[in-house]
Chain A
Amino acid sequence: MTTANNLVQGLLLGGLYALFATGLSLMFGVMRLVNLAHGDFAILAAFLALVVVDGTGLHPLLTLAIVVPAMFAVGYLLQRGVLNFTVGGDGLAPVLVTFGLSIILQNVLLELFSADSRGLDAGAIEDTSLALGRLNVGWFPLLTLVTGAAVLAGLQLLLARTRLGRALRATSDDPEAAQLVGVDHRHAFAVATGLAMATVAIAGIFLGIRTTFSPALGPTRLIFAFEAVIIGGLGSLWGTLVGGMVLGVAQTLGAQISPGWGVLTGNLVFLAVLAFRPSGLFGKPVTT
């Protein structure tokens, strides 16, 4: 019975991981850029939400209306001002720059907020659950999964049906040819990063409600997002959702076996996918 419950918890946890992974996947898809500070930006968003809550008394979920646009702007400026100068080239610069940003972000947050764990209090919704037969499905984890799926669907729609989405896809194919049809590729890249940071903001706030957070938590979030992307398969947004769920299930079942084995089981499943099915569950085949 506990196993069944843990299975459900794991699937719901996948929704949170998918939220984290979406932005990472988007940036890589459009710009071949991996943002090593991805998780740290989520934590930044959580702290921003905390500041808004402390200042205005708003419910944490309502702070989305402020934090998400703010993080979009952060992402846009980051890409336009810094990361656009690292795109192309030998691929060394983006890794080094974003790694440096990760260190800077963590330590700035540490200085501003200390290492204490914080939480975002969303009130009753955190504790209530839906009883399905003998299973207990928490309302908030369910909301997280639904939000994760909605964000993914929204992004798919944006990419497939809108003028902006067309511009993003064209720029990711061939930035130079995109310029020749009138697309400002530097702006397109910046919008992609802005969107990525917006999704990361949602992920960070949901994380902050679900559990506690502290400045040093970013890197593990990055790792989970990355594992979800790889397990699901590069190039597939829906694969990311499935990847997140597989990771979530692996972690919760692993923790059931032994408390210290949760994250480790997730890592081992990731390594197994890398060993036996490198293109992931839904990804395009890998050419070595």
Chain B
Amino acid sequence: MSIGRPLLDVLGLDAWYGDFQALFDISITVAEGEVVAIIGANGAGKSTLLRTIAGLQPRTAGSVSFDGAALAGVPAHRRVGLGISMVPEGRRIFPSLSVEENLLIGAQARRPGPWTVAAVLELFPMLGDKRRRGGSQLSGGEQQTLAIGRGLMANPRLLLLDEVSLGLAPIVVGRIYQALPAIRAAGASVVVVEQDIGQALGAADRVYCMLEGRVALEGGPAELDRDRIAAAYFGMRA
């Protein structure tokens, strides 16, 4: 595991939905080869942060840099070409496309790299028999693996996983997290947004905890004990 210079550098980020401010002065970094977890309660702003990095959030202030270059003004679809790939909350598989086509369209940006349809199916064998099926005919867990596979097909340097455990059985979630080492080994840094704190702490090199649009806590999983996390998660003051 090599920690290099920051791949992703977010500095002083504010974000708004209309008049509502969702992020206040967020600063986080992700180094090359790292797995970073972002935890927090509903509404803490985790998904908003990921969406901003992916380029879907129109009203922002502050800076987001990827590999040294500022991302301001770069539309979402171009960021995929730069190496940022997001697996959105709620999976959002394309129902009009088959399983195989969902994977193929993941490669729309045509980035070179190790991930091909075959490689993805090797990582997630349960999708193999269902290649021709319509995207919406899969179970929740299968759709989630398909969504991740689609995200991998972009051969990203930074993979953003937004709430992949939502609505899935623990066994299924476990299998998904078991794939993370292989993803990291193939060259991607990963940001995981999670409500399942156990999985997040188990998989991550570093953790940020967000509360009401701000970073409330950060550190390695070993440094953070339950009480500190609970305080940051729920906003309790001692």
If A166-B101, A170-B105 touch, whether A179 touches B77 (CB-CB below 8 Å) is: yes
CA of A170 to CA of B101 in the docked complex: distance in angstroms? 10
- Taking a contact as CB atoms under 8 Å apart, the answer to whether B105 and A166 are in contact is yes
Closest A residue to B108 using CB positions: A182
CB < 8 Å neighbour of B104 from A166, A176, A177, A183: A166
Is B86's CB within 8 Å of the partner chain A? yes
If A176-B56, A177-B88 touch, whether A182 touches B154 (CB-CB below 8 Å) is: yes
If A169-B94, A180-B54, A180-B85 touch, whether A185 touches B105 (CB-CB below 8 Å) is: no
Is A126's CB within 8 Å of the partner chain B? no
- Taking a contact as CB atoms under 8 Å apart, the answer to whether A173 and B95 are in contact is yes
- Taking a contact as CB atoms under 8 Å apart, the answer to whether A172 and B96 are in contact is yes
Question: Could you jot down 26 A-B contacts, CB within 8 Å?
Answer: A163-B104, A163-B108, A166-B101, A166-B104, A166-B105, A167-B105, A169-B94, A169-B96, A170-B96, A173-B94, A174-B92, A174-B94, A176-B88, A177-B88, A177-B92, A180-B54, A180-B80, A180-B85, A180-B86, A181-B108, A181-B150, A181-B151, A181-B153, A181-B154, A184-B75, A185-B77
Chain B residues lying within 8 Å of A167, measured Cβ to Cβ, are: 105, 108
Chain A residues lying within 8 Å of B77, measured Cβ to Cβ, are: 178-179, 182-185
CB < 8 Å neighbour of A179 from B76, B101, B151: B76
Interface centre among B85, B88, B108, B109, by most chain A C-beta atoms within 10 angstroms, is B108
Chain B residues lying within 8 Å of A183, measured Cβ to Cβ, are: 77, 105, 108
Complex interface residues of chain A between 207 and 250 (CB less than 8 A to chain B): none
CA of A84 to CA of B159 in the docked complex: distance in angstroms? 30
Complex interface residues of chain A between 132 and 188 (CB less than 8 A to chain B): 163, 166-167, 169-170, 172-174, 176-185
- Taking a contact as CB atoms under 8 Å apart, the answer to whether A181 and B101 are in contact is no
Q: How would you classify the secondary structure of chain A's contact residues: helix, strand, loop or mixed?
A: helix
Complex interface residues of chain B between 75 and 93 (CB less than 8 A to chain A): 75-77, 80-81, 85-86, 88, 92
Chain B residues lying within 8 Å of A181, measured Cβ to Cβ, are: 80, 85, 105-106, 108-109, 150-151, 153-154
Is B173's CB within 8 Å of the partner chain A? no
Chain B residues lying within 8 Å of A169, measured Cβ to Cβ, are: 94, 96-97
Which residues from chain A sit less than 8 Å from chain B, CB to CB? Answer: 163, 166-167, 169-170, 172-174, 176-185
Chain B residues lying within 8 Å of A166, measured Cβ to Cβ, are: 97, 101, 104-105
CB distance from A144 to the nearest CB of B (A): 30
Closest B residue to A180 using CB positions: B86
CA of A181 to CA of B56 in the docked complex: distance in angstroms? 12
Which residues from chain B sit less than 8 Å from chain A, CB to CB? Answer: 54-56, 75-77, 80-81, 85-86, 88, 92, 94-97, 101, 104-106, 108-109, 150-151, 153-154
CB < 8 Å neighbour of B75 from A174, A178, A179: A179
CB distance from B213 to the nearest CB of A (A): 22
Chain A residues lying within 8 Å of B153, measured Cβ to Cβ, are: 181
Closest B residue to A169 using CB positions: B96
CA of A185 to CA of B76 in the docked complex: distance in angstroms? 10
What 16 new A-B contacts, CB under 8 Å, besides A167-B105, A172-B96, A182-B109? A166-B97, A170-B94, A170-B96, A176-B88, A176-B92, A177-B88, A178-B77, A178-B94, A179-B55, A179-B76, A179-B77, A180-B85, A180-B151, A181-B80, A181-B108, A183-B105
Chain A residues lying within 8 Å of B81, measured Cβ to Cβ, are: 182
Interface centre among B97, B105, B150, by most chain A C-beta atoms within 10 angstroms, is B105
10 interchain residue pairs of minimum CB distance: A182-B109, A182-B80, A182-B108, A179-B76, A177-B92, A169-B96, A173-B94, A170-B94, A184-B77, A179-B77
Chain A residues lying within 8 Å of B95, measured Cβ to Cβ, are: 173
CB distance from B102 to the nearest CB of A (A): 8
Chain A residues lying within 8 Å of B92, measured Cβ to Cβ, are: 174, 176-177, 180
CA of A184 to CA of B94 in the docked complex: distance in angstroms? 16
CA of A215 to CA of B154 in the docked complex: distance in angstroms? 49
CA of A182 to CA of B85 in the docked complex: distance in angstroms? 9
